[in-house]
Amino acid sequence: MNELMRELNENNVGMVKLNEPLARHTTMKIGGPTDLFIEPSSIEGLEKTMKLISKAQVNWRAIGRGSNLLVSDKGIEGVVIKLGNSLNQMNLDGTVLTVGAGYSLVALAMLISRKGLSGLEFASGIPGSVGGAVYMNAGAHGSDISNILTEAHILFNDGTLEWLSNEEMEFSYRTSVLQKKRPGIVVEARFQLKEGDKEQIVDVMQKNKDYRKVTQPYDSPCAGSIFRNPLPQYAGKLIQDAGLKGHRIGGAQISDMHGNFIVNAGNAKAEDVLQLIQYVKKTIFEKYNVHLETEVEIIGKI
């Protein structure tokens, strides 16, 4: 890792740190250190980073704002690349929006709504970055990223960049081709929006935001929805009906506001959260014969 770090610094890719605690970079405030932490200062820096990582043949993964992650207490072996504010460029050409992966999804949705453009209303209140949202096809209120994305600029393992169409992204419920079939990093995304009534769009945005405020615990450290909805049923409703809201293991607690959220109620460890997840899965299966699958991405050393 020291040799890789030296080469990264020589190439001025951006900020490079050894043994950086990932609790500093996840919304749940949980996670051990990564061997090498890199926050590229530009797309060019990101390209150089990926080529050097490929040359060194070390494991890597990318993160955005860390809002859908549970990182092991033991941390992550290899390299973590954070797509931060240096990748938050934006260009609006009529109703076509091209935006960098590091841009805050909430901030983007608000900005676009004030311009009288429709398409991102569902994203009001969804934490995280544009890149993370595209990677997992984030959605809410009956819509998701796949409904507006036309193409995504992807950086692959070998350092090559390629624009993938909506079809090539192979979107489905909270997944994309990048999660398994073609691992890569979202660098930019292009969205097709629609002109609409500014007051009506802003009103919908505010209602969505208000709904999240009163139903979801985003004022506490959490990772968003823990489980995928076993449609047509909803994970939060099943957990609530099972009487599990408020149940706690160690510092991890099922939110009193929403059954599908686990909050860091005080110095929680990843192991606390994992035990709580298993307890919920076991209880819901025994009560309702329903298998819950996690939506939050669980990563790191076992």
Asked if 105 contacts 138 with a C-beta cutoff of 8 angstroms, the reply is: yes
Regions of the chain short of the pLDDT cut 50 = none
Tell me the C-alpha to C-alpha distance, in Å, between residue 233 and each of 173, 177, 214, 230, 245: 14, 25, 21, 5, 17
Look at residue 139 in the predicted model and tell me its pLDDT. Answer: 87
Q: Which of 20, 121, 188, 295 is catalytic?
A: 295
pLDDT of amino acid 158: 80
Return the pLDDT at 13: 95
Longest Cα separation, the chain: 58
Q: Exactly one of 118, 129, 225, 255 is catalytic; which is it? A: 225
What pLDDT is attached to residue 59? 92
Q: Given the residues 174, 176, 188, 255, select the one marked as catalytic.
A: 174
Q: Is 295 a catalytic residue?
A: yes
Domains detected in the chain: 2-82 (3.30.43.10), 88-214 (3.30.465.10), 217-299 (3.90.78.10)
Q: What per-residue confidence (pLDDT) applies to 86?
A: 84
223: phi then psi, degrees, rounded to nearest 5? -115, 20
Structure tokens at 99: 């935006």
